Copies of this chain bind each other. A is one copy, B any other.
Amino acid sequence: MARKTGSRAEITGPLIRQAALRLFARHGYGAVSMRQIAAEVGVQAGALYLYTPDKQSLLYELMRDHMQELLAAWRDEPKGANAPDRLSAFARFHIRFHLERPEAVFLAYMELRALSSENFAGIEALRQQYEGELAEILRDGAAAGDFHLDDLRLTTMSIIAMLTGVNTWYREGGRLSREEVGQIYADMVRRIVEPA
């Protein structure tokens, strides 16, 4: 399998995705040109089309890969036996995973409007799958009498929003470590659903 040629094809593809992610997240999909991406990688614009059929596919694949990695990572996460433990694990997992890849998170939340309608539907389905993971924990906990929920859907959405919001203000090297933030948020989440 090993090859010895001087070709850089095997690394150029990933480099293109990396550059596109960085530039799309920083300046917005509509504001980034294929030439800018090419310049960042060190190739000419035309060479990009050996790796992607067009700009839209580049965006879609970045978002799809991000969502699939998110779902896979949660699937592999140790979760605890009961609903309160699983909720705490979810909160800490969500914050950790999202703080580890701020650019992909930003892209996935901010550039949905730039997707074609077919691509949008694909990403939306993955997003709903992830929300469903949290909703399931809440439903189970309510059924077991561990949680009090005014409204399952609103509780799900508010928890996701408050957790994802960490990405807008967290700065590395600040007052609190990621783990400390995760723990404080897990506690706040717990209080939202704690029975009176």
Contacts and interface: CB of A to CB of B under 8 A. Distances in A.
Interface of A: 26-32, 110-111, 113-114, 150-151, 154-155, 157-162, 164-166, 168-169, 176, 181, 184-185, 187-188, 191-192, 194
A181 B158 CA distance: 11
Given A157-B166, A168-B161, A151 B184 contact: yes
Nearest to A194: B191
27 contacts: A27-B30, A27-B113, A28-B28, A28-B30, A28-B31, A28-B111, A28-B113, A29-B30, A29-B31, A30-B30, A30-B31, A150-B187, A150-B188, A151-B176, A154-B176, A154-B185, A154-B188, A155-B188, A157-B169, A158-B185, A159-B162, A160-B165, A161-B162, A165-B165, A188-B192, A191-B191, A192-B192
Nearest to A131: B169
A-B pairs with the 4 shortest C-beta distances? A161-B165, A30-B31, A30-B30, A162-B162
Nearest to A28: B30
A30 B113 CA distance: 13
A169 to B, nearest CB: 5
A155 B187 CA distance: 11
Contacts of A29: 28, 30-31
Contacts of A165: 157-158, 160-162, 164-165
Contacts of A194: 191
